Structure 1
């Protein structure tokens, strides 16, 4: 139950955060385009203030490939419009004009049992548990095993009144914990959807 509450809280924060961030992302993108090459090189090593502990953490980015401050997570972001908002040991968030993305570590056997889905029905039940009056359908769901690690990927398409049009999810299981990656997109653009799916499902996590 604690893990379900934690996941629900994370998605709720994403929904609230999207309202705050939505107006500023486009202007930030324009400002970045005007920066000199020297300034851009200085930003290759991003210093980010973690929202939970209010301490500086160091992540690095080269092109669109982001390496977490802990060094164990490498993700190629969908495009240059995505930027890191926070980077803690168990929670990383990204945002862009197209949507939001988070990477969350969940510890313990209970977390694995409630967060690693084995069917489209389980995935849909999870989404309905975090979003009241959910309207839409699971458009794809797959369970795989690579190097002895179980993983799943799923896509949900919102058809009702909702700021977001898609949720894209990926989970990977380790012996005593798992990682969940969720992206919530504001666009119906299928090319952007495909880019986000590729970004999430090809994320490299080492332990």
Structure 2
């Protein structure tokens, strides 16, 4: 069970209230809308605390991001480090919300995908306009186009990773130690044995 749809995820959560729901989006995205009881641990924090997460978490873990790509990267890292029962919500929060599933809503923030579209589109537009007076400016648009092509082919996004570091996306912040402690508490409630790498 590596990817599950929103209906299956809802059934899993209803059948097993101790399932660990880990949202790997930025704190700003998490603040906008998240699943009740979810733990916010952004993807870069998953990477930074990988060994601790694997040793402290146990039981089933459901990973969530906006569309599923970041959660899939987190799943690959966690399973590669030895955590066995990890699933990704296919389609992420987009699919969860589209299915009519309940969410806890806070202050609305732009998702990373929307921010990438704004920045990439703005840079391309500015370079095209600047190219009317300074022809080498068109190379900037080509560079952005190449970056977006690589992002699509590799299912990664360097611009998104850079934007996730901005204060706007870190608003509210994440206390990684507290998030890992919640993972440990969830694991002890479920009575699951931790898998160590």
TM range (shorter): under 0.3
Q: Which has the larger radius of gyration?
A: 2
**Looking at both structures, which has the greater relative contact order when contacts are Cα pairs under 8 Å and sequence separation is at least 6?**
2
TM-score (ref. length: structure 1): 0.24
Q: Which has the higher strand share?
A: 1
